[in-house]
Amino acid sequence: MKRIVIVGGAGRMGQALGEGLGAISEFSVTALVDVHEPRERFGAIYQASLDDLEPGSVDVVVDFSNPEGVVGSAGWCARHGVGLVIGATGLSEEQRGAVEDAGTKTGVIMASNFSLGAVLSERFAAMAAPYFDRVEVIELHHDKKVDAPSGTSLAAARAIRDARKKAGLAPLVDPTVRQTVAGARGADAGDGVMIHSVRLPGLVAHQEILFGGPGEGLTIRHDSYDRQSFVQGVALAVRAVSSAPGLTIGIDSFVS
């Protein structure tokens, strides 16, 4: 049985993971780590820091806290040879460097989205990208999300760009020559792939990838209505991290 510690255990995602992972028979959520004491513990103990835990009692750390918390988890896991699964986004280059360094000492899996549907929608978008003249991404999240655009939309844009380059296609050129309101056309995520970010209460995580060509369009939409939608993807990463040395970006390789 894999013994899991969740960093950010008092947050909404940490609570969802505590409930969801704890219900899987092969896992035991042994501790919720957070500066704030979690509302629910799901049979786990509460600790304010990873340093309060005995490293030998932990198989995998799952961190959905924040970029600063991820750096601390990366250092702790690297020192003790504990696998690390990261779901926090918005890391700076320096913070990402700390994660990459940890990957030289232990298994690390980092993904912008652990929903299996989101992984598949990105895969479908890469398949469609060479066949359409235009593409834009609309990502919609709850109003407490602090970074924009989402890591999921950036990953989708990257997959689209890579697929177009592989097909020998030139970067997209926006035909709009005048913006009455600056930024109305969204943000260029590279090679003309535009991303539009929406933040509203009541949302969880949603994304539309819109393709357009002569006389037709294709929309690939994915909706996470509840944070439990991320549990199965995190479970895949927890199972794989001990046998996946180094740093692995995304869970696509674990979804057959």
pTM listed for this prediction: 0.85
Secondary structure of 108-128 as H, E, C letters:
EEECCCCCHHHHHHHHHHHHH
Query: At 2, is the secondary structure helix, strand, or coil?
Result: strand
User: Given 141, 196, 206, 222, which residue is catalytic?
Assistant: 141
User: Given 80, 105, 145, 165, which residue is catalytic?
Assistant: 145
Alpha helices in the chain (DSSP H): 12-22, 67-80, 93-102, 116-128, 151-166, 231-240
Quickly name the fold that domain 2-110+227-254 has: Rossmann fold (3.40.50)
Q: Classify domain 116-224 at the CATH superfamily level.
A: Dihydrodipicolinate Reductase; domain 2 (3.30.360.10)
State the pLDDT at residue 256.
Answer: 78
162 Cβ neighbours under 8 A, 6+ residues apart: 126
State the pLDDT at residue 189.
Answer: 97
Tell me the C-alpha distance between 245 and 256, whole Å: 20
State the pLDDT at residue 160.
Answer: 98
Q: Characterize the bridge pairing of strands 205-213 and 247-249.
A: unpaired
Report the amino acid identity of residue 116. L
Catalytic-residue membership of 141: yes
State the pLDDT at residue 14.
Answer: 96
Catalytic-residue membership of 2: no
Tell me the C-alpha distance between 234 and 109, whole Å: 10
**pLDDT per residue as tens, the chain (256 positions):** 999 999 999 999 999 999 999 999 999 999 999 999 999 999 999 999 999 999 999 999 999 999 999 999 999 999 999 999 999 988 999 999 999 999 999 999 999 899 999 999 999 999 999 999 999 999 999 999 988 999 999 999 999 999 999 999 999 999 999 999 999 999 999 999 999 999 999 999 999 999 999 999 999 999 999 999 999 999 999 999 999 889 999 999 999 7
State the pLDDT at residue 244.
Answer: 87
State the pLDDT at residue 181.
Answer: 97
State whether the Cα torsion 24-25-31-37 is positive or negative: positive
- Check: CB of residue 204 under 8 Å from CB of residue 225: yes
According to CATH, where is 3.30.360.10 located in the chain?
116-224
